[in-house]
Amino acid sequence: MQDSFKIKTTGFEGPFGLLLDLVERKKLFISDVSLAEVTEEYLSHVKKLTETSSRLGEIASFVAVAATLILIKSKSLLPSLELSQEEEGSIATLEGRLRLYEEFRRLGEHIKARFGKEIIFPPGERKFEILVFLPDERITKGAMMTLARGVLATMPTATKLPEVPLKKIVTLEEMIRRLTEKIEKGLEMNFRDFVPLGKSREEKVTMIVGFLAMLELVRQGILEVEQENHFEDILISKNNG
């Protein structure tokens, strides 16, 4: 792979190559369950990629796949999470494209192994060593200019697209800071008091990011969490140990 960015641990190209490599390495079948298992490893590779590459256009596809993997991971951690039809479609599309990529890669390896071993159509005898371009007499400079003007005249004129307001997206770092500040002010709190449950897309994204922020602070040993029964609220407290 000749490119300015390359993760040296594997020989893949593009986000689907990376994702399929992680799934095959763990010997898993392509499903939302197995994709949830490899999410952390995929995000780790994407983080290395963003730290070593300044070509945003090339890493955008990696980040797009990472967003769907985070959605799959959140669904596995929060069984009661309701996904919209668009979100369910994104998960199904990712699985389908990954299976298709797996099939193309398998066929590509087969073609590579067979290439050049059996010549089906041998090259014929070349009659002319020198190729000469003989344009038609009607192809003149004036005729070409007339055709070019005709093509330009049929092109649609530029139209101004309507302006839409940009929606603010909460980041994981910002959510970690908010949760840290709140837990410093009180001994304990409920997760729903920190991030109220909602049904809109923005509210569900905020809840997912808040849940990931809580898990990260637990991993760092800053917070302790407790849940008595499934689907009940989570009690968050500061780890004073």
For residue range 196-236, what is the model confidence (pLDDT) as tens digits? 777 777 788 888 888 898 888 888 888 888 888 877 888 88
**In terms of pLDDT, which residue wins out, 170 or 227?**
227
For residue range 128-150, what is the model confidence (pLDDT) as tens digits? 667 777 778 888 888 889 989 98
Q: Give Cα separations from 219 to 101, 186, 199, 225 (angstroms).
A: 35, 20, 28, 11
**Placement of tokens 């970690």 in the chain:** 176
Q: What is the mean pLDDT of residues 154-158?
A: 79
Q: Over 60: is that where the pLDDT of 172 sits?
A: yes
Residue 123 pLDDT class (50, 70, 90 cuts) = low
Q: Over 50: is that where the pLDDT of 80 sits?
A: yes
The contacts of residue 17 (CB under 8 Å, 6+ apart) are: 10, 101, 105
How many CA atoms, within 13 angstroms, populate the side-chain half-sphere of residue 105? 17
pLDDT at 17: 78
Domains of the chain with bracketed CATH: 14-114 (no CATH), 172-238 (1.10.10.580)
pLDDT at 230: 79
3-class DSSP state of 224: strand
The answer to whether 42 touches 34, Cβ cutoff 8 Å, is: no
Q: Over 70: is that where the pLDDT of 58 sits?
A: no
